[in-house]
Amino acid sequence: MKKQCALCILALLTLFVAGSSAFAATWEQQTGWVKVYQNDAQGNKLSGDIDSLTAAISNGADVKVSYAGSNNLTMSLHCEWTAVKDGYAACMNTSHISIRSMDADNSKFGFQDNAYHWYVMLNTEGKLDMSRWSVGANTNRGHTQNQIALSWWVRIH
């Protein structure tokens, strides 16, 4: 009886571990981000396929964009709004609040004392449009437009 019980426990543990591994592998596969397109600052294709990106957006895929920020900081943002038209894609995110910096020693890590919201629109032509507004007030803090190289990522389910 003890031997049968031990074998049952071993079988259950094996199923649990195998099931956990299968779940982990499935989860990793379902939540992976894949870079599908990359453009330079002038909107020229560097890698990937614009049709894959626009098809993914048209089918409701989760999209994020990454780019090189100031001070060697790589920025990545989730697209809260996306649009496609004639082989062109655009993305908008409105949930940023300004930070002080990301110094290696973390001495200035955190939000700015006089923080502002910043809203950003990006597109596959390399355009970045940013509008800044004071937190808690309707005060314009600036509006800039730049050309920037972008990487476009799609979450694979």
Average pLDDT over residues 35-44: 97
Are 63 and 54 in contact by the 8 Å Cβ rule? The answer is no
pTM of the model: 0.74
Please indicate, yes or no, if residue 12 is contained in any of the structural domains.
Answer: no
Q: What is the DSSP string of 86-144?
A: TTEEEEEEEEEE-BSB--TT-TTBSB-TT-EEEEEEEETTSEEEEEEEETTS--EEEEE
| Per-residue pLDDT, 11 | 41
Q: What are phi and psi of 60, to 5 degrees?
A: 85, 20
List, for residues 117-129, the tens digit of each pLDDT value: 989 999 999 999 9
Domain of 143? Answer: 35-155
| Per-residue pLDDT, 105 | 63
Please indicate, yes or no, if residue 93 is contained in any of the structural domains.
Answer: yes
Alpha-carbon gap, residue 122 to 124, rounded angstroms = 7
List, for residues 46-61, the tens digit of each pLDDT value: 999 999 999 999 999 9
Number of domains in the chain: 1
Please indicate, yes or no, if residue 90 is contained in any of the structural domains.
Answer: yes
| Per-residue pLDDT, 12 | 35
